[in-house]
């Protein structure tokens, strides 16, 4: 019996066989049914909107009307979500992108439960450790919300495919996401990242800056970096949402004796009338040490894809609170754009709006989540198209397949010790990879010897996940 390990996944193959802090808000009714807590419908000046160390305060007597009604003409809008549902928050964001006036500028802030969000054109089997996402138990947050809107946590990390491009990022209650929607003529990849940098510097993070890859990074001294490692506020590399130009020294500090860490990555979406820039900012994530493991696929050495691949960077927490960050970003947004015509909170009731509900249904569908995956091939041996060396495997083992939109186009088991003998597994023809609940059983159903099917199937379960890692 030969034994090998591919990226920590044991493989045994027999050679004998061929086979909230509560905010003081007033709940308003809304038409359509998009319920928000209104902070103020009166135009606000660019002076500090609130003390970042205190909750938002409501206006003395808010009117009982829908902020979305104001949004029909409002040129400057701010929304803050108090839901931790990533599908809802991304659908609200998409609704704002599609419905706000073409000349308006919108800021949307939200915090999600533990989730990994991949770009529209990414391959989850290439980018992520899907079995780990399914099994991982997130650490409870010291602040913010858990899966149920209260402090707490549950097994598993939610996988989401967003509508914008870019790479994979991790969300939890310890980081706040920002989104700015504006006219295309005003779009610049650094403009609103610099806005967030100013907010961070105002909160006592002087080393914050935007690098040449449009990420927000912090430069820290070597001594401070060593202390951060002991305190668990920095972590090994995680994925970045943009490719690194060859000349971009993205992780190099401006001076000797400095270490550079990414705290925010961005992604973008441009339409004829609107542009979207969104990003996440690591503030106090309790899961920082596990992010790199989740965003590194054990199947990566065997996969050649055509989608967007992430670039990994070392990360760390900024060390400020969610409300402090929200307040600072809102103030900087106000300093840039002046009076707010609308500033409001949104929550789960937003799902009553038809466009938001439809958006959630699309994002939650497995056809969207996995079926958007570009064509890719998998091979345990170097090929002409993919000559990279592979992890060591048993000499008699050779497996290859090709998949388009998550659907297997071919699946071939071969042996390098029997004159190139190959077996095409008919039971896997046209199978959706994400619908394979157990690779062992599917291989046995294809006529592969039971012991061999068990060895190969168990290896694939640990590599690709069973049922998409669900």
Residue 469 lies in a domain: no
How many whole angstroms separate alpha carbon 325 and alpha carbon 85? 20
Identify whether residues 300 and 425 lie together within a single domain: no
Residues 331 and 254 both lie in one domain = yes
Judgement on whether residues 10 and 56 belong to the same structural domain of the protein: no
83 close to 350: Cβ distance less than 8 angstroms: yes
What is the pLDDT, as a whole number, of residue 306? 83
207 falls within a domain: yes
250 versus 54: the higher-pLDDT residue is 250
Q: In degrees rounded to 5, what are phi and psi of residue 332?
A: -65, -35
DSSP notation for 162-188: -SS-S--EEE-TTEEEEEEEE-GGG--
pLDDT value of position 422: 65
pLDDT of residue 310: 77
- 403 and 335 co-located in one domain: no
Within-domain flag for 215: yes
Name the pLDDT band for 394 (thresholds 50, 70, 90).
very high
pLDDT, tens digit (0-9, with 9 covering 90-100), for 396-452: 899 999 999 999 999 999 865 544 556 677 778 899 999 999 999 999 988 888 999
Residue 457 lies in a domain: yes
Judge whether 26 lies within some domain.
no
Q: Check residue 119 and report its DSSP letter.
A: -
71-75, 105-109, 235-239, 344-348: lowest mean pLDDT where?
235-239
Q: What are the start-end ranges of the H helices in 277-424?
A: 288-294, 322-337, 354-364, 366-369
Determine the pLDDT at residue 51.
42
Q: Are residues 265 and 349 in the same domain?
A: yes
Lateral strand order in the sheet of 115-118: 158-161, 115-118, 169-171
pLDDT, residue 467, reads 76
pLDDT in tens, 161-188: 999 999 999 999 999 999 999 999 999 9
Pairing between β-strand 115-118 and β-strand 169-171 as defined by DSSP bridges: antiparallel
Tell me what pLDDT residue 248 has: 59
Please say which residue of 327, 347, 369 terminates a domain: 369
Residue 56 or 28, more confident: 56
Domain shared by 199 and 262, yes or no: yes
Question: Which one has a higher pLDDT value, 221 or 99?
Answer: 99
Domain coverage including residue 144: 32-369
Query: Which is more confident, 70 or 81?
Result: 81
What band does 453 get if pLDDT is binned at 50, 70 and 90? very high
Q: What is the CATH number of the domain that holds 349?
A: 3.30.930.10
pLDDT class of 55 with cuts at 50, 70, 90: very low
What local confidence, expressed as pLDDT, does residue 238 receive? 52
- Domain co-membership, 335 together with 402: no
Q: Are residues 412 and 362 part of one domain?
A: no
Work out how many domains the chain is built from and give that number: 2
7 and 53 inside one domain: no
Q: How confident is the model at residue 258 (pLDDT cuts 50, 70, 90)?
A: confident
Mean pLDDT to the nearest integer, 337-357 = 92
Among residues 352, 369, 386, which one ends one of the domains? 369
Question: Which distant-in-sequence residues (6+ apart) come within 8 Å of 254 by Cβ?
Answer: 209, 219
Q: Average of pLDDT values for 292-316? A: 90
Residue where a domain stops, chosen among 369, 384, 418: 369
Model confidence at 65: pLDDT above 50? no
Mean pLDDT of the chain: 80
Would you state the pLDDT for residue 11? 52
Q: Tell me, what's the pLDDT at 341?
A: 84
Structural domain includes residue 384: yes
What element of type H or E holds 10?
A: strand 9-13
Residue 32 has pLDDT above 70, yes or no: no
pLDDT of 254 reads 52
Residues 182 and 298 in one domain: yes
Residues 323-337 have a mean pLDDT of 97
Counting Cβ atoms within 10 Å, is residue 296 exposed (0-12), middle (13-18) or buried (19+)?
A: buried
Q: Report, as an integer, the average pLDDT of 351-365.
A: 96
DSSP bridge partners of 410? 402
Short-list 214, 174, 166, CA closest to 324: 174
181 in the same domain as 111: yes
Q: Is 86 helix (H, G, I), strand (E, B) or coil?
A: helix
Min mean pLDDT across 72-81, 117-126, 140-149, 453-462 is at: 140-149
Q: Per-residue confidence at 217, pLDDT binned at 50, 70, 90?
A: very high
Q: Are strands 234-240 and 311-316 parallel, antiparallel or unpaired?
A: antiparallel
What does the pLDDT average to over 142-159?
A: 58
Q: What is the pTM of this model?
A: 0.82
pLDDT-derived band of residue 8, with 50, 70 and 90 as boundaries? Answer: very low
In a domain, 470, yes or no: no
Q: Is residue 13 in some structural domain?
A: yes
- Please, are residues 198 and 332 in contact by the beta-carbon 8 Å criterion? yes
Q: Judge if 79 and 197 occupy the same domain.
A: yes
Using the predicted structure, report yes or no on whether residue 122 has a pLDDT greater than 50. Answer: yes
């Amino acid at each position: 019996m030969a034994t090998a390990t591919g990226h920590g996944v044991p493989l045994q193959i027999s050679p004998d066989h061929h086979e909230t802090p509560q905010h003081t808000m007033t709940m308003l009714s809304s038409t359509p049914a998009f319920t928000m807590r209104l902070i103020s419908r009166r135009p606000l000046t660019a002076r500090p909107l609130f003390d970042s160390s205190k909750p938002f305060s409501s206006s003395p007597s808010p009117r009982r009307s829908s902020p979305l009604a104001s949004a029909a003409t409002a040129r400057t809008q701010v929304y803050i979500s108090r839901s931790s549902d990533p599908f809802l928050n991304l659908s609200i964001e998409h609704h704002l992108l599609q419905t706000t006036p073409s000349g308006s500028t919108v800021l949307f802030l939200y915090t999600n439960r533990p989730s990994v969000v991949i770009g529209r054109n990414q391959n989850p089997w290439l980018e992520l450790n899907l079995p780990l996402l399914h099994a991982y138990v997130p650490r409870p947050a010291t602040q913010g919300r858990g899966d149920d809107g209260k402090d707490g946590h549950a097994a598993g990390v939610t996988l989401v495919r967003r509508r914008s491009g870019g790479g994979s990022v991790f969300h939890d209650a310890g980081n706040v996401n920002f989104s700015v929607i504006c006219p295309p003529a005003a779009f610049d990849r650094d403009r609103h990242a610099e806005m967030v940098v100013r907010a961070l510097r105002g909160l006592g993070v002087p080393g914050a800056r935007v690098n040449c890859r449009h990420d927000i990074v912090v430069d820290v001294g070597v001594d401070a970096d060593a202390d951060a490692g002991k305190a668990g506020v920095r972590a090994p590399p995680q994925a970045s949402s943009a490719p690194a130009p060859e000349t971009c020294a993205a992780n190099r500090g401006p001076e000797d004796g400095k270490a550079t860490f990414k705290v925010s990555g961005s992604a973008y979406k441009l339409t004829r009338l609107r542009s979207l820039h969104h990003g996440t900012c690591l503030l106090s994530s309790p899961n920082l040490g596990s992010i790199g493991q989740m965003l590194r696929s054990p199947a990566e050495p065997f996969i050649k894809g055509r989608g967007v691949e992430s670039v990994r960077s070392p990360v760390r927490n900024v060390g400020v609170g969610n409300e402090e960050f929200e307040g600072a970003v809102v103030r900087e947004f106000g300093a840039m754009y002046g009076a707010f015509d609308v500033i409001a909170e949104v929550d789960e009731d937003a799902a009553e709006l038809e466009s938001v509900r439809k958006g959630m249904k699309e994002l939650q569908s497995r056809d969207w989540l996995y079926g958007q995956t570009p064509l890719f091939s998998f091979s345990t041996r170097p090929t002409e198209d993919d000559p990279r060396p592979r992890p060591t495997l048993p000499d008699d083992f050779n497996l290859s397949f090709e998949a388009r939109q998550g659907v297997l186009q071919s699946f071939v088991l071969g042996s390098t010790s029997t004159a190139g003998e190959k077996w095409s597994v008919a039971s896997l023809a046209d199978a959706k990879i994400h619908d394979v609940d157990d690779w062992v059983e599917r291989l046995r159903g294809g006529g592969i010897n039971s012991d061999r099917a068990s060895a190969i199937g168990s290896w694939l379960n640990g590599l690709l996940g069973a049922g998409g890692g669900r």
